[in-house]
Amino acid sequence: VKLQVALDLCSLDEAVGLVEVLREVVDVVEVGTPMVLRDGMQAVRDIKRVAADTPVLADLKIVDAGEHEAAIGFDAGADIVTVLGIADDTTIDGAVRAARKFGGRLCADMITVSSVAERGAALVTRDVDLVCVHTAYDRQASGANPLDELNEMMTRVPMDHIAVAGGVNAEKLQQIAPHGPAVVVVGGAIAGAADVRAAAEEIQATMRRYGP
């Protein structure tokens, strides 16, 4: 189980400082959508430089012009780019083409997809590398969490293609880690902690302890 830290609600300068502290403790660094909207691909270039050998994901949430927009992310140095699972298949196929051309990976964010297992299986068949069950930030206050959708996704998609995101903390990880998804995405529980490195190390320890 790999740990991806999502950098969403901080400035680019703050994010660069966090990555300097976290790059040896996490497996993937995510340049979150709000940072992409604010700073564009400058955010990916700056984070990529400081992330060194740790892969960088650009959370572009592509829903149209798949090949063109994915190429924007890969061209800026992203190792992984996201597309929305609800996108049209032509958009998915275009983003996959860009990923193969650049030697990058493509992750489909399943946010707002109603039948995650069925759509997830179809996306993996279309050569999408990862499908990410994702409880929207805006839905987390209601107590929603990605565990139900993970259980559903597992019925149709192999675990090595599944990522899990949306309000994950050490406590929720105790339920998620035993299933052994390929990636767990953690945002505020690391980036919002007083000691971000200690928080990331605790998450990694929880994943080892409760992992398969």
- As measured in angstroms, the least distance from the Cβ of 5 to its own copies is 17
Residues 18-57 close enough to bind its own copies by CB under 8 A = 33-34, 36-43
- As measured in angstroms, the least distance from the Cβ of 179 to its own copies is 24
> Is 68 a binder of its own copies (CB under 8 A)?
yes
> Is 63 a binder of its own copies (CB under 8 A)?
yes
Closest alpha carbon to 24 in 50, 45, 43, 46: 50
Task: Considering only the stretches 20-28, 65-73, 118-126, 171-179, report the one whose residues sit in contact with its own copies under the rule CB under 8 A.
Answer: 65-73
Among 14, 20, 24, 64, binds its own copies (CB under 8 A): 64
Q: What is the sign of the dihedral through the CA atoms of 149, 133, 141 and 212?
A: positive
- As measured in angstroms, the least distance from the Cβ of 2 to its own copies is 22
- As measured in angstroms, the least distance from the Cβ of 114 to its own copies is 10
The distance of Cα 40 from the centroid of its chain, to the nearest Å, equals 18
* Residue found under tokens 């139900």: 148
> Is 209 a binder of its own copies (CB under 8 A)?
no
> Is 168 a binder of its own copies (CB under 8 A)?
no
> Is 16 a binder of its own copies (CB under 8 A)?
no
Among 77, 94, 167, 181, binds its own copies (CB under 8 A): 94
CA–CA dist 210, 212 (Å, integer): 7
- As measured in angstroms, the least distance from the Cβ of 9 to its own copies is 7
CA–CA dist 199, 58 (Å, integer): 23
CA–CA dist 150, 82 (Å, integer): 18
Q: Which two tokens stand for residue 43?
A: 């955010």
Contacts for 123 with CB less than 8 Å, ≥ 6 apart: 85, 92, 108, 131
Whichever of 139 and 156 has its CB closer to its own copies, that residue is 139
Residues 96-155 close enough to bind its own copies by CB under 8 A = 111-112, 136-139, 141-142
**Residues 67-80, buried b or exposed e (16+ Cβ, 10 A)?**
bebbbbbbebbbbb
Whether 41 contacts 74, CB under 8 Å = no
Residues that bind its own copies (CB under 8 A): 8-9, 33-34, 36-43, 60-61, 63-66, 68-69, 72-73, 84, 86-88, 90-91, 94, 111-112, 136-139, 141-142
